Structure 1
Amino acid sequence: MRRHCFTYGSLMCADIMAAVCGVELAGEPATLADHRRHPVRGEAYPGMVPAAGAAVSGVLYRDLPPDALARLDAFEGPQYVRVTVHVQLPDGAAVEADTYMFRPERADELLPGEWDFDRFLREGKARFQHQYMNTHCR
């Protein structure tokens, strides 16, 4: 069964998502209410946790094949758990999607403040691709 996936960090980049999933996917803007994304200590990517009143802007990819989700599960690793959420599209529609939440027992790895996607694109994406894409996306 195909599932939708809400991404909020490095996977918002279509090229990274395609490399991880093994298939090109079209993304669209979406928002997840009552959550916040934080920088992860020593990493270019964020972790997302529940936070009342906050919201995370991200990208929704629709209709991922099962093998793409299996690849995502492997890529995300032990810091994350896949959960089902409801995201909102710009037109107000709600869509059920899977996303990867940072595990509560690893919360000490999260830094205060909001993770910055534009900064990731400028300063972290190349390092991220070098560190993670060559190792995890074969």
Structure 2
Amino acid sequence: MTSSDQSPSHDVFVYGSFQEPAVVNLILECAPVMVSAQLHGYHLYRLKGRLHPCISPSDNGLINGKILTGLTDSQLESLDMIEGTEYVRKTVEVVLTDTLEKKQVETIVWANKDDPNMYGEWDFEEWKRLHMEKFIEAATKFMEWKKNPNGRSREEFEKFVQDDSSPASA
């Protein structure tokens, strides 16, 4: 048994594009168990010019999402890498949708809670319809980069998750 096999597993609350099994399976290179949950006290924002959302604290906020259960340190690192430095990992309490049980999990929060590029409410169904294909293409390129950077920077990946159709001002 390797040391990574002995590491504690992680449960991570995800929202946005990471609720889509095709995205999660690609990034984690497996199909983790996903459990529906709600996160209170946060809002799911659109990000101007991006295909993905962010969350930030909000007194009356409520986010429906999924818990990815039993992630390894390596899988958690993959999530952190694709999210980049604009997000920070934080421990939060969620409520399981089916049982109403409360659970402490990790989630990824937008680091700049005052970012002027956050606006409105991000819509999962709209994203699936309009942007999922492009996002999966970008995630595929990211995973290729992760395995073999060949001198390319992470910034090259970031341009793939830009939303070409977003309004100039929101």
Q: Same fold (TM over 0.5)?
A: yes
- Rg comparison, structure with higher value: 2
Instruction: Kindly provide the amino acid, as one letter, of the partner of residue 143 in structure 2.
Output: C
Instruction: Look up the match of 2:72.
Output: 65
| Matched-pair contact (CA < 8 Å) for 1:38–1:114 | yes
Q: 1:83 aligns with which of 67, 90, 101?
A: 90
Instruction: Look up the match of 2:31.
Output: 24
Percent identity between the two aligned chains:
23
Instruction: Look up the match of 2:48.
Output: 41
| Matched-pair contact (CA < 8 Å) for 1:79–1:106 | no
| Matched-pair contact (CA < 8 Å) for 2:26–2:140 | no
Greater than 3 Å deviation, 4+ residue runs = none
Q: Which has the higher strand share?
A: 1
Please report the TM-score for the alignment, with normalisation by the length of structure 1: 0.93
Please report the TM-score for the alignment, with normalisation by the length of structure 2: 0.76
Note the aligned Cα RMSD (angstroms): 1.3
Instruction: Kindly provide the amino acid, as one letter, of the partner of residue 135 in structure 1.
Output: K
Instruction: State the alpha-carbon separation in 2 of the partners of residues 136 and 105 from structure 1.
Output: 26
Instruction: State the alpha-carbon separation in 2 of the partners of residues 55 and 106 from structure 1.
Output: 19
Instruction: State the alpha-carbon separation in 2 of the partners of residues 80 and 54 from structure 1.
Output: 18
In structure 1, runs of 5+ residues without a counterpart are none
Instruction: State the alpha-carbon separation in 2 of the partners of residues 106 and 134 from structure 1.
Output: 31
